[in-house]
Structure formats: C-alpha cells, structure tokens
Amino acid sequence: MKFAMRPARPDDADAVMRIILARSAWLEERGMPSWRDSAEKLAALTSSDDGSTYLLEADGQPVGCTTATDSTPPMAWTAEELAQPSLYLYSTITDPAVRGANPGAIIALWAVDRAAREEKLWVRRGCRFPGLVSYYERQGFTLIHEMQKTHGPMYLMGRRAERIADLENVFNGDRAPLV
C-alpha cells in the first residue's frame, strides 16, 4: 500500500464517518468505549476553516484522520511546556481494515516530521486508555503527565519533533512505521 497525508475537505465527511463507525464497531466488539457518539461532530471537522483536519489515504482511499493544531490544551501541562512550540494531535482514528499497516503510526511519523519542518519542539497528544499509552510509546512517545478527569484518567504524552529521513519509504510501503 502507498500512503499519503492531505488536508481534509468538506466532501470527505462521508469517508471520515465511515472510518469512525468502522473503528467504533471494532472497539465495541472488544468491550471498549467508542467514538460512535461523537462521529457526526468529528466528521464535521472536515469542513473546518482552520485546515487542522488531515486524512491518511492508502492507495487513494481514506483510511485515517487526525486533527493537528498549534495549540496545546492547558490541562496538566506546565506553563513552561505550554510555551514550547508544539503540534498537538487530537482524535486520530484509523480504519481497522488496514490495522496491519499501522496507519496510526504512519500518522504519528508524519506529525513528528511536520513539527520539525515547522521548527516546533514537540508533538503532543492525550489519551484515556493504558493500551493506547503502550501503543503510543511504541511510536516513540513518552508519558509526561497523568491526570484525573471526570470520566477517568487522562494520559498526556509527547515526542520530540525530528525529521524522519526515510518517511518517503514509510509512505511508499517500503518500510514499516514501527521498527
């Protein structure tokens, strides 16, 4: 499979909805909370004027989405951390049909490289489940803060921005995104 990242467009909403519902069904089959209740809201981000929603395509077909912004939500980050230029990833969702290709890791590498090209220091993200913490750690992220929210724990993670020399090989399917 050949992959590409591109900004989402309003006409991508149906494809993003399909990805979200497929991932939601996969999560629900495993007894885990899903994105189902937020599907319409997340798919609507394809119409956002700020250009922060991106699609991952495999062989020209949407297989993942993420939102990447320049602002880190304050939560448990320190004032010093918030002052550091960072790219923050929200709502990274991938189609379970292409799980074997590690599309989430491809999106993460894209973000790490993009942050470095934009002279940012970090890529940051948050998640609610220990299983995701482990997955993100395999992508090179480090758990920086853990906080308690109304609906349970929130894990805040970061990875230093860096150029990924062989990112093109990952996107061409010549190198696995997780080594």
pLDDT digits (tens, 9 = 90+) for 5-61: 999 999 999 999 999 999 999 999 998 889 999 999 999 999 988 889 999 999 999
Q: Is residue 133 very low, low, confident or very high in pLDDT (cuts 50, 70, 90)?
A: very high
Mean pLDDT calculated for residue range 55-75: 94
Characterize 24-62 residue by residue with b for buried, 16 or more Cβ atoms within 10 angstroms of its Cβ, and e for exposed: bebbeeeeeebbeeebeebbebbeeeeebbbbbbbeeeb
pLDDT digits (tens, 9 = 90+) for 93-105: 999 999 999 999 9
pLDDT confidence of residue 60: 96
How much of the chain exceeds pLDDT 90, in percent? Answer: 84
Distance CA 21, CA 27 (A): 10
pLDDT confidence of residue 179: 60
